[in-house]
Amino acid sequence: MVMFPAKLTSHLMAELTVEQFSGLFDKKIPPETLASLAKSASNGNLESIDLLHNIALRHDSEGRKAENILFDLFSGKLPAKKGIDKEIQETSKKLYQLHLNTKIKTHLTDSKLTTPSKLLYIVGSAIEKVIDKISLTKLLMKNEPKGSTLWDNNRMTTSDEIDASNKNNPTLPSNMTINCSIGLMQNGYNLLADVIEQKILNNKTLDKCELFPININDNHWILAVFYQPEHKQDMKCVVFNSYQNVSLEITNEIAKAAEKAGIIEKDITYIEGNIQQQVPNGCGLFVVEAIKQLTENNQQDPYDTLKEFQENFIKKTMAEQKEFNIQNRRQLYSNYHDSKYLS
Q: What structural domains does the chain harbor?
A: 10-152 (no CATH), 159-329 (3.40.395)
| 62 pLDDT higher than 80 | yes
Question: Which residue in 53, 99, 237, 283 is the catalytic one?
Answer: 283
Provide the whole-model pTM.
0.90
Q: Given this model, what pLDDT does residue 207 score?
A: 82
Q: Is the dihedral of CA 31, 36, 37, 42 positive or negative?
A: positive
For residue 39, what pLDDT band results from cuts at 50, 70 and 90? very high
The closest of 118, 112, 148, 157 to 130, measured between CA atoms, is: 148
Looking at the chain, the whole-number percentage of residues with pLDDT higher than 70 is 89
Q: How far apart are CA 36 and CA 17, in angstroms?
A: 10
- Phi, psi dihedral angles at 165 (to 5 degrees): -70, -30
| 19 pLDDT higher than 70 | no
Could you confirm whether 231 is annotated as catalytic?
A: no
DSSP string, 192-257: HHHHHHHHHHHHSS--SEEEEEEEETTTEEEEEEEE--TT-SS-EEEEE-SSSPPPHHHHHHHHHH
Per-residue model confidence as pLDDT tens digits over 67-125: 999 999 999 999 999 999 999 999 999 999 888 875 555 555 568 998 999 999 999 99
Give the pairing type, strands 209-216 and 220-227: antiparallel
Could you confirm whether 220 is annotated as catalytic?
A: yes
Question: Which residue in 53, 99, 220, 337 is the catalytic one?
Answer: 220
Looking at the chain, the whole-number percentage of residues with pLDDT higher than 90 is 75
| 220 pLDDT higher than 80 | yes
Q: Given this model, what pLDDT does residue 22 score?
A: 52
